[in-house]
């Protein structure tokens, strides 16, 4: 098995989108969340505060694009980080069929709607049976996993589906639990308000 592999990811920043490849150890336990939270090495040297991306495309809100061979991103500035290509590659043991072994912990999905300064996200966050949503928000991990996500970009009024996204908890302005299926309606309502304000 190769020591490293690469996976295409999408970083949602305050005023731009950054797409590029991140390196990781191709094991069944590999998770994007661990790389973002500093719990695993994603390359030959351990890095904590910065994420290295290669073959980078930067998309600005004004429509301008820039391409770079490589760049280093301060993790603290990332609002959201989404998987592209095969999303299950970065979900670790939880994405595998069949019995799960330690350190896997079974978690229940909770439909939520959350806002950062630049994005509105609906989808499923996860908690173990004894946890409340606030327990997950207050734990020590920096990034919160959300699956089956809808991401609405406030500045340009676009919406997209993302199978797996990690949300930087430091950028969450508000989070609320949703009734199942109500997240899409909430984003559509926000989209209509935003369209009315801009016209």
- Please state, in angstroms and rounded to a whole number, the distance separating the CA atoms of residues 199 and 194: 9
Contact at 8 Å (CB) between 53 and 22? yes
Res. 70 pLDDT band, cuts 50 70 90: very high
3-state secondary structure of 156: coil
Q: Domains along the chain? A: 5-95 (2.30.30.100), 108-198 (2.30.30.100)
DSSP annotation of 91 reads B
Closest CA to 179 of 85, 106, 92, 113: 113
Contact at 8 Å (CB) between 167 and 121? yes
Q: What is the mean pLDDT of residues 82-108?
A: 60
Contact at 8 Å (CB) between 152 and 190? yes
Contact at 8 Å (CB) between 126 and 108? yes
> CB count, 10 Å around CB of 100?
13
- Please state, in angstroms and rounded to a whole number, the distance separating the CA atoms of residues 20 and 84: 10
Is residue 31's pLDDT more than 80? no
Q: How far is CA 42 from CA 5, 14, 88, in A?
A: 9, 24, 17
Instruction: Show the tokens assigned to 64.
Output: 């301008």
Is residue 121's pLDDT more than 60? yes
Percentage of the chain with pLDDT > 70? Answer: 68
pLDDT of residue 107: 75
pLDDT of residue 188: 57
pTM, rounded to two decimals: 0.78
Q: Find the farthest-apart pair of alpha carbons in the chain and give their distance in angstroms, rounded.
A: 55
Whether the ω angle into residue 103 lies within 30 degrees of 0, i.e. cis, is: yes
């Amino acid at each position: 098995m190769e020591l490293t592999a690469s996976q295409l990811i999408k970083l949602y920043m305050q005023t731009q989108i950054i797409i590029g490849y991140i390196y990781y150890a191709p094991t069944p336990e590999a998770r994007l969340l661990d790389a973002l939270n500093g719990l695993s090495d994603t390359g030959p040297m351990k890095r904590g505060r910065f994420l290295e991306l290669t073959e980078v495309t930067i998309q600005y809100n004004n429509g301008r694009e820039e391409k770079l061979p490589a760049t280093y991103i301060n993790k603290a500035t990332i609002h959201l980080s989404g998987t592209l290509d095969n999303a299950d590659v970065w979900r670790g043991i939880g994405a595998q069929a069949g019995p799960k072994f330690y350190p896997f912990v079974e978690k229940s999905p909770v439909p939520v709607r959350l806002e950062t300064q630049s994005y509105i996200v609906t989808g499923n966050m996860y908690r173990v049976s004894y946890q409340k949503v606030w327990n997950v928000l207050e734990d020590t991990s920096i990034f919160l996993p959300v699956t089956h996500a809808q991401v609405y970009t406030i500045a340009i009024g676009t919406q997209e589906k993302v199978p797996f996204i990690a949300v930087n908890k430091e950028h969450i302005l508000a989070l609320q639990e949703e009734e199942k299926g109500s997240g899409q309606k909430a984003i559509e309502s926000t989209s209509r308000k935003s369209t009315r304000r801009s016209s």
